[in-house]
Amino acid sequence: AHRVALVDFGVKLNIVRCLTERGCRVRVFPMRTTLSDMLAWKPDGFMLSNGPGDPAAMPDSVDLVKQVVGTGLPVFGICLGHQLLGESLGMATEKMHHGHRGINHPVKDLTTGQDEVTSQNHGFVVKRTDAEANERVEITHMHLNDGSVAGFRLKDRPVFSVQYHPEAGPGPYDSRYLFDRFVENLHAAVPVERASKQNA
């Protein structure tokens, strides 16, 4: 089973369920944890949970996320986790005039061209101009009502995040494929990790 270290910024139980349903073993770590504490458990990847708060006012969490990305292991961020990931990559987050709240927000997956109905509950967003200017980043999801960034991925490692709740229930199930994508990244990363240990 793939071991997923879940950094808890105010986690929803459904995130854990979506991972365990896909055969992952999950351990929840508090947001004040250290990278060395998590690495001692030998995780195959990291999940950055949702939660309340202004990501720009959480420098310790941004620093932790930066260290997590630095491991090169797969990372999946949701909502606040997505915003903290953005901040850790040098992209600003900004307060929205009208936050996205509800279970019927249309989002386009730019990697597949598919539209999906998403559940959202957030008042901050990763600044689009920053995401477009960041050469390491590809915007993968866009909110169809206002063009805001609804997801991005890193081009140089298996790290991605979305601004909505793919785990939502009750709510749309359109976005559960993101958990499959994360598990595929875990599958792909493990042989490389083992091979590098054998060659060390």
Domains of the chain (ranges; CATH) run 3-199 (3.40.50.880)
Active site residues: 79, 165, 167
How confident is the prediction along the chain (200 residues), in pLDDT tens digits per residue? 899 999 999 877 789 999 999 999 999 999 999 999 999 999 999 999 999 889 999 999 999 999 999 999 999 999 999 999 999 999 999 999 889 998 889 999 999 999 999 989 889 999 999 999 999 999 999 999 999 999 999 999 999 999 998 887 656 567 888 999 999 999 998 655 444 444 43
- Say how many residues make up the chain: 200
The angle at the Cα of 133, spanning 130 to 138, to the nearest 5 degrees, equals: 90
Q: What is the pTM of this model?
A: 0.91
Taking the C-alpha atoms of residue 116 and residue 94, their distance in angstroms, rounded to an integer, is 24
